[in-house]
Structure 1
Amino acid sequence: MIPSNNSETTLLNEGINLIGDNSFMLLDAEYYELAQQLNSDKYYSEIFDEPVPINHNLADYIEECNDVFHPSFCFSQEWSLTDDTTEQERRKDTASADRTIFCTAKCTTCKNCVCRKNGLPCTDKCKCADTCCNLVKPTFEHEWTLNAVFPNVNVEPPTNSGPRNLPKHLSLPESTSIIWNDKILQHIYERTNWKKEYCIEYEQALNDHKEWSNTKSKHEKKQKRFKRKYEHDNENMVQEINDANPPPLINDILESEPKVEPFAKYLEKKKGCTIPNHYSKDDIKGFLQICQIMGLSPIPNYYDYWSIDGENHAFYACKLIQRIMSRKRFIDIHMHLSSEPNFLEDNVNSNSRHYWLCVKEVSVDEIIAAFKGKIRFKQYIPLKPHKYGLKYYALSDSTGYIYAFWLYQGKESRYSHNATSIVLDLVKHVSPENHVLGIDNYYGSLDLARELVNHGWKFVMTVRNNRPSYLFSEGLQKKLPGSKTRKWIHAVNKENTLVALSINDNKRVNFLTNLGSSQLIKNKPYVQEMYNKSMGCVDKSGIFLHCTHPPFRNKNWKTVHLLQMMKTSFVNQYIIFKHHINNPGLTLCDYLKHSLAQTVTFRNPYFTRTTHFPMKLKKLERYQLCSHCKDSSSRCGYKCMGCGCYLHLHCFTAYHDPKFIYY
C-alpha cells in the first residue's frame, strides 16, 4: 500500500524515482503498472478531453486528479490505494453529487456508462444529464411533507367564453356552415374527380380500348362460325384446333389482334392515375347529406334505405334519401371518395379555434372513430363505444366542443406521441388563465405536473402507482390505511406548488394537483370533486359523434377520417348555434334535422314519356302475371304501350311512379 504523504521526498523513499522533469517510474511491478496508467494518453484524454502535457510533474498530476474516480484506483488528499472492500463500499455509498464523473457517451439505458460499471449513480455534472436512468432517485421524505397545509384554490370562470368572430346573419341552422365550409367541399370535389393527369390523352386511350373491344367481339364471332363450319364437315376438326394446330385463318386473326387493353389496364392501376368520375359538387354534397341522415336513423343494412313497396324490408325505406341520390350513384361515390387527411385536419382545427373560446373546465382524452380495416396504426381501447378504430387525441371543454385534436398515425404522426408532449401540444392553444385542466392516469405524471406548473396551469390529474414510483408506491401508499376504510392522505412538495393525494375509494386512486388538499367537500376531498367536474369533456364529445355515425363500413381509412372530420364540424357548429341563440334545450338531432331540411338538394325529377298508356289485351294474352304486384291469384288484362309490361289497371300508376326511378 502506498503511504499517505504528499511530499515528493516521501514518495521517492517508498520506491518512486523521478527521471528528469517530466517522467517517473515505480520500482515495484505493481506500482510500475499504476504509473503507466497515470501516464496513459487514452486515460488522460478521457478525463480531461485534452492530450497529455509534455512537461508534467507527478505531484502536480496527483493534485489535478485529486477528485477523479477510476475503476482501478482513486485519488484523495492522502493519495491512498486500498483493497479493503468495506472502504470501497463506503466510498460508493457516500458518493457526493459534486464529484465530477465523466461517461464515455450520452446514454438513456446506461449500457456504456462508466458510472454504471463502477456501481455509482450519475450526477448533474455527468454527460448523461437527465436522460440517464442511473441518476440518484429522490426520496419521498426529502421531497414531500405529509399533511402539510395547502389552501384550496377557487378558479373564476373566464369572462369571455363561447362563440366569437361569428358572421352577422347567423339565426338559422342552415346558415351555420362555418367550420365545414365551401373550401373543404371544393377540396373533396377536386380530389374525388382528379388526382393527377394522365401521361397521354384519356379520351384517346378510352377510344382505343373501345375499338379493341369491338374488334375482339368481331373476331370471336368469326372463330365461332369457322369452328361450326368444320365441325359440321368433320367432327375431329374441333380437337385439332384445340391441339394448337389451327388453320391459317385463325392464326391470322390472332396475330392481327390489337394490343391496347393491357396498356389501358396499366393506366388504371398506375399510382396517381385515376379515371375521371365527372361528379358534380351537388353529388358530393348530397352524398355527405345522406351520411348525416343515415347517422340519425341507422338500420342494419343501408341498402334498405332504397327499398320499394313489395320488398321484404320496405318499412326501412327513406323517401328523402331516394330523392337525393340513387343507390348505385351513392355506392359509386363511396368507392371513389378521396381527400387529403392533413388538409382536412388542419382546416377543421383552425376553424374550430377561430369561432370559439373555451369555458372553464377542459380535459384531454382519446376519441375512437370506428374502423375494422387493415391499417398499421389501428387502435384497440375496450372501454370506448367503438373498441377498434382510428385514435384521435382531443382537447374539449365541458360543453362538448372539440377545440383541438390530431390523428395518431404511429411513427408517421406529425406530433410526438409521448404522454407529456401530447398534453402540452394540445393545451398550448388555450390560455391557462381561468381554466381548470383535467387529465386521466394515461397522461398523468410528476414530470407533466411540473411542466404545467411552469406554464401557469391549474390542473387535477390521476396518476398510476408506478409513475413515479417513489411518490405513491413507496411513499403515500405505504402510509395509507387499509382498503376497507374510506380514508385518504396527502403530501405537499418542498416548493409548495403541488399536492399528492391517495384515497381509498372503490380502489386506491392517486391525484396530483395544485388546486387544493384533502379538505372535505360533500363527504369527499376537494381534489376529487374538482376532478369529477373537469373530466368527462371528451367523453361528452364522443357521445355527440356517436349519434351521427353512419351504419355502413369503410375499407379505406381516409374515408373514415373524412366522415370523422365532418361529424366533428357539425358537432362544433351545433354547440356554437345553441349558445348563439341561447337555447340550451336544443338537441343535436333537432339541429341536424332543421339544417338538412333547408340545405338538402334533390336531383332533377324524371318525367316519363307520353307513350305509356294502358292497352287492353286480347283473349290469348290475358293470362300473364302483373309486373308490379306479381299476384298469381289474379291475371292482368292490360299492357303498357311504352314499356311492354303486363299490369293490372290499378297497378299502372304505382308502377310508373318516379320513386322506382330513384332505386
Structure 2
Amino acid sequence: MANRLPNSNCHENVADSQSDMSSNGSQSFCRQSYYRRSLCRHRFADNHFADSHHYFEDQNLNESAGEHLNEGIKISTTETSHPLDYFEASIDETIANSIVAETNRYQSQNPVGERLNMARWSDTSLSEMYSFLATMMLTGILPKNRIRDYWSTDRLSSTPIFMQIFTRNRFQDLLRFLYFSNNDLVDADRLVKIKPIIMALKSKFSSSVNPGQNLCIDESLMLWKGRLAFKQYIPSKRNRFGMKFFEIVDCQTRLVLDFIIYTGSTTDIGIIPAVGISGSVVMNLMKPYLYKGHNLFVDNWYTSPNLFDLLHRSKTGACGTVRSNRRGLPSLASKMQFRGIHAVNYSWCIAQQFW
C-alpha cells in the first residue's frame, strides 16, 4: 500500500498533552483533549512495523526463589486452610456485618403483619448470615423448582443438609428481609439498593488478587427474568435475559478483578470520545493496570486502532478480533476473495492480519 505512515510528531503531541493536563484546571476537559491530540490518524502499510515490548512488573514473583506466590491470590494458605478463608477474601466480616445491619433495619421498618406471621422474627447475626449465604450458594449448585422444595421430605428428592442448617420458615424470613442499603438515604442511582455491596465487592476483588501479565475483558449476562429497568435481552448468550456486566479477568487465576453493571444511558464509564463507548469501558476497567506491561485480550466489540494505540502508549499490549467495518481500518476485501490468502497491514504499533 502507498499510504504514508504517521510521523514522529505523533509522539511529541503526547508529551505536550501531558504537560497541558497538569496546568489546566478542568480534569475532564484535559483528559478528552489529551486523547484527541495524542491519537494519530492511522495510515496502514504492508511493509513497516515498529515492534516494541513492554516490561511486565510481575508482583506475584518471589525474586529470591524465582517462583510465583499463590498464583496471584493475596491470602496466606496452608494445608490446614479452610474454604471459609477463600470465601472471606471476597466477603469478609465487614461486608457480612453490613448486610446483617441493613437486614435487621429493613425488617424493623416494615410493620409486623399477621399474614406474614412475623411475630416469630428475631434479629439475625453474623454467624447466621454466613450460614444463609452458604445456603444460597448451595441452592445454585442444587437447582429445584421452588424454595420450599429444599425442605421436602420426599424420599426421591429430599436434601437433608438444608434442614440441618435452617428451618424452612427461618430461611424464608431471612430471604424476605435480606437488604443491602439504607432506605433513609435518597439516591437517584438505579443501583442504589445494592450499591454498598457492589462497591465493597469491587474493592475486595481488586485487592485480593495480584494479576498475571495477561488480562481479558468481556461481557457477562446474569440470568434475571423479573422486573428490571435495565434488563438486557441478548439472544446469543446462554441466559438471554438478565443484567449485563463488563468484566476484567485475570487469565492466570481466572478471577474477576473488577466489573461494571450496565444500566443503560446512566452507566458510569466516563466516555472518551476518541475511543467511543466500548473503548471507554476498556480504559475504565484497565485504569489500575496501565503502565505495568500487561497484555489485554478482547473481542471485536472493543477492538479498534485508536483504542490499541492508546493502550500501547500506556505500556499495555492488546490483541483481539476485529470487525471488518471498524473505523480506521484499511479495506482488504479485494485481497480476501480466495481461501488461503494471508494479508498483514501495519500502522506504527498496530498489526492487522487477515486469513
Partner of 1:492: 346
Partner of 1:305: 150
- Matching of residues 103-114 of structure 1 within 5 Å: none
Give SS of 1:438's match.
strand
Partner of 1:477: 333
Distance 1:277 1:454, change over 3 A: farther
Partner of 1:375: 228
1:394 to 212, 223, 247: 247
Partner of 1:359: 212
- The answer on whether the counterparts of 1:362 and 1:436 sit within 8 Å (CA) in structure 2 is yes
1:345 to 198, 216, 227: 198
Instruction: Quote the Cα distance in structure 2 between the aligned partners of 1:284 and 1:196.
Output: 15
Instruction: Quote the Cα distance in structure 2 between the aligned partners of 1:389 and 1:296.
Output: 19
- The answer on whether the counterparts of 2:51 and 2:349 sit within 8 Å (CA) in structure 1 is no
**Letter paired with 1:280:** T
1:314 to 145, 150, 155: 155
Instruction: Quote the Cα distance in structure 2 between the aligned partners of 1:275 and 1:380.
Output: 41
Instruction: Quote the Cα distance in structure 1 between the aligned partners of 2:121 and 2:130.
Output: 15
Unaligned runs of 5+ in 2: 1-32, 61-70, 182-193, 272-276
Matched, 1:409 2:263: yes
Partner of 1:423: 282
- The answer on whether the counterparts of 1:476 and 1:490 sit within 8 Å (CA) in structure 2 is no
- The answer on whether the counterparts of 1:193 and 1:276 sit within 8 Å (CA) in structure 2 is no
Matched, 1:159 2:70: no
Partner of 1:145: 45
**Letter paired with 1:346:** M
Distance 1:157 1:491, change over 3 A: same
Unaligned runs of 5+ in 1: 1-128, 133-137, 211-273, 504-663
**Letter paired with 1:159:** D
Distance 1:332 1:404, change over 3 A: same
2:164 to 323, 340, 357: 323
Q: CA deviation at 1:411?
A: 3.0
- The answer on whether the counterparts of 1:194 and 1:276 sit within 8 Å (CA) in structure 2 is no
- The answer on whether the counterparts of 1:477 and 1:502 sit within 8 Å (CA) in structure 2 is no
Q: CA deviation at 1:425?
A: 0.5
Instruction: Quote the Cα distance in structure 1 between the aligned partners of 2:322 and 2:120.
Output: 54
Q: CA deviation at 1:355?
A: 2.2
- The answer on whether the counterparts of 1:150 and 1:492 sit within 8 Å (CA) in structure 2 is yes
Distance 1:184 1:130, change over 3 A: closer
Q: CA deviation at 1:426?
A: 0.4
- The answer on whether the counterparts of 1:185 and 1:285 sit within 8 Å (CA) in structure 2 is yes
What is the TM-score of this pair, normalised by structure 2?
0.70
Distance 1:391 1:347, change over 3 A: same
2:89 to 178, 181, 188: 178
Q: CA deviation at 1:396?
A: 0.3
Q: CA deviation at 1:145?
A: 1.1
Q: Deviations over 1:78-131 (max 9, x none)?
A: xxxxxxxxxxxxxxxxxxxxxxxxxxxxxxxxxxxxxxxxxxxxxxxxxxx999
Distance 1:276 1:354, change over 3 A: farther
Instruction: Quote the Cα distance in structure 1 between the aligned partners of 2:235 and 2:148.
Output: 30
Q: CA deviation at 1:453?
A: 2.0
**Letter paired with 2:160:** K
- The answer on whether the counterparts of 1:396 and 1:402 sit within 8 Å (CA) in structure 2 is yes
- Matching of residues 221-370 of structure 1 within 5 Å: 278-281=122-125, 282-308=127-153, 313-340=154-181, 341-370=194-223
Instruction: Quote the Cα distance in structure 1 between the aligned partners of 2:169 and 2:119.
Output: 18
Instruction: Quote the Cα distance in structure 2 between the aligned partners of 1:405 and 1:376.
Output: 19
Q: CA deviation at 1:385?
A: 2.7
- Matching of residues 430-441 of structure 1 within 5 Å: 430-441=289-300
- Matching of residues 560-599 of structure 1 within 5 Å: none
Q: CA deviation at 1:459?
A: 0.7
**Letter paired with 1:183:** T
Q: Deviations over 1:229-284 (max 9, x none)?
A: xxxxxxxxxxxxxxxxxxxxxxxxxxxxxxxxxxxxxxxxxxxxx99953312443
1:456 to 311, 315, 320: 315
Partner of 2:104: 193
Higher relative contact order (CA 8 A, sep 6+): 2
Distance 1:400 1:295, change over 3 A: same
Q: CA deviation at 1:168?
A: 7.7
